[in-house]
Amino acid sequence: MSTLDLDALADLVPRPDEEARERARERQRALVKPPGSLGRLEDLSLWLAAVQGACPTRPLTRPRAVVFAGDHGVAELGVSAYPPQTTAALLRATLDGGTAAAVLARETGVTVRLVDVAVADPLADVPADVTRHKVRQGSGRIDVADALTGPEAEQAFRVGMTVADEEVDSGADLLVLGYLGVGGSTPAAVLAGALLGLDAATVTGRGSGVDDNRWMRKCATVRDALRRARRVVSDPLRLLATSGGADFAAMAGFLVQAAVRRTPVLLDGLAPAVSALVAQRIAYGAVDWWLAGQLSPEPAHAKALDRLGLEPLLAYRIGLGQGAGALLAVPLLRAAAVLLAEMATYEEAGVPPGSPWPRG
């Protein structure tokens, strides 16, 4: 029997500070520029003021990317362009700093934490901090069996909560949520289809770049898994156990707890977005603490973001995962924060507010 009270957890999610948002709006009107001339950066500054509870906004000095890693039984069906053991190899390469996400993290000044919750490899050769929250080695084949047991789903959800607490307690002021796992776009498509009421062909994408034959095989797998998912769609933890995996459950727990801790989260690709859909079912107000960093090529991604009411900051069609696309959006948030805080007002600049503005 579950000891996790999701209703009580949802009650702990606060609303962002609307007074700070209004002060930021008033300050935007006073800055030495035509109204609205900084476009969406102005909207981002209002959001940051609300989630920080501060105006002027504070600079983002401690952004942290957290990448949850896991393997999935459906990968053995050939639904990915890569073999299942690639997950462990990519995790090691990220630790060594050689993956795109690791390079982009260095370039954007973001530190990266890898959390193995369900990689099939025991990863005995990696730092213990990576594997200390491991729930199991791989998740079940969701077209014919559950991904997890009920207790494992709760354990994984609590892992996500714990990791969020650890990051906030260590001083993170922005969290970037990424995902690493071969075959992960298949359970992501299943969760999206179940939660959005869509069929397999609509939510199934090319993932790692599969050809037509593999895509059709993937569609059939998603179709079969959707039949099982739809029976439990009203129960978030049971849905994660049936059709997600330890990685998805951990991401959902991470997202809810980050909101409880008043810490903003930047979502990367499809897997974080569908985990957010599950988390929103648990705590509707948590979505106010999240932003979509980017839009991937996966067809279910745009649909999930639309349901969440989140407009992606970037649309470079980055489908790599691992937080890579969202990392590119971190400089935009940093810019929004410092512009609101450091730009001069009309009064400070000695410019009359009604003066004609040079056209440029």
Check which CATH number belongs to the domain holding 315 and give it: 3.40.50.10210
Provide the whole-model pTM. Answer: 0.96
Instruction: Say if strands 265-267 and 290-292 run parallel, antiparallel, or are unpaired.
Output: parallel
Say what the pLDDT of residue 1 is: 47
Residue identified by tokens 């370039």 is 107
Q: Within a domain: residue 49? A: no
Residue 283 CA, chain-centre distance (Å), reads 15
For the chain, how many structural domains are there in total? 1
The dihedral sign for the CA sequence 167, 297, 291, 148: negative
Q: Within a domain: residue 266? A: yes
Q: Report the run of H or E that residue 179 belongs to, with start and end.
A: strand 174-180
Q: Which of 305, 325, 300 is nearest to 185 (CA)?
A: 300
The one-letter amino acid at 2: S
Q: Within a domain: residue 2? A: no
The one-letter amino acid at 215: W
Q: Is 315 helix (H, G, I), strand (E, B) or coil?
A: coil
In the chain, the N- to C-terminal Cα span, in Å, equals: 65
Q: Within a domain: residue 10? A: no
Q: What angle do CA 43, 46, 50 make, to 5 degrees?
A: 140
Q: Within a domain: residue 175? A: yes
Q: Is the peptide bond before 127 cis (omega within 30 degrees of 0)?
A: no
The span from the CA of 285 to the CA of 165, in Å, is 19
Phi, psi angles (nearest 5°) of residue 171: 105, 5
Instruction: Say if strands 174-180 and 63-70 run parallel, antiparallel, or are unpaired.
Output: parallel
Q: Within a domain: residue 167? A: yes
The span from the CA of 283 to the CA of 268, in Å, is 20
Q: Within a domain: residue 210? A: yes
Tell me the β-bridge partners of 174.
63
Token pair for 209 = 């770049």
Token pair for 351 = 């410019």
Say what the pLDDT of residue 359 is: 62
The span from the CA of 202 to the CA of 197, in Å, is 10
Token pair for 102 = 């690791």
Token pair for 342 = 């450091």
Q: Is 38 helix (H, G, I), strand (E, B) or coil?
A: coil
**Structural domain range at position 227:** 63-331
Per-residue tens of pLDDT for the chain, all 360 residues: 468 999 999 999 999 999 999 999 999 999 999 999 999 999 999 999 999 999 999 999 999 999 999 999 999 998 988 888 899 999 999 999 999 999 999 999 999 999 999 999 999 999 999 999 999 999 999 999 999 999 999 999 999 999 999 999 999 999 999 999 999 999 999 999 999 999 999 999 998 888 888 889 999 999 999 999 999 999 999 999 999 999 999 999 999 999 999 999 999 999 999 999 999 999 999 999 999 999 999 999 999 999 999 999 999 999 999 999 999 999 999 999 999 999 999 999 998 876 676 665
From the candidates 52, 257, 280, 322, which is the catalytic residue?
Answer: 322
- Sorted by sequence, the CB contacts under 8 Å of residue 19 that are 6+ apart come out as none
Q: Within a domain: residue 43? A: no
Active site residue 280: no
- Judge contact between 156 and 135, C-beta under 8 A: yes
